Amino acid sequence: MSALPKTRLNALQYLAIENAAEFRSEFFDGEVFAMAGDSSATTLSARTSSQR
7-15-52 Cα angle (round to 5): 145
User: Which residues does 8 contact at the CB level (< 8 Å), separation at least 6?
Assistant: 29, 30, 31
What CA–CA distance (Å, rounded) separates 6 from 14?
Answer: 15
For the chain, the domains span: 11-50
Give the residue from 34, 32, 14 showing the smallest Cα distance to 23.
34
Q: What is the pLDDT along the chain (52 residues), one digit of tens a residue?
A: 678 888 899 999 999 999 999 888 999 999 999 988 755 555 555 554 555 5
Q: Which residues face 32 on adjacent strands? A: 27
Q: What is the pTM of this model?
A: 0.58
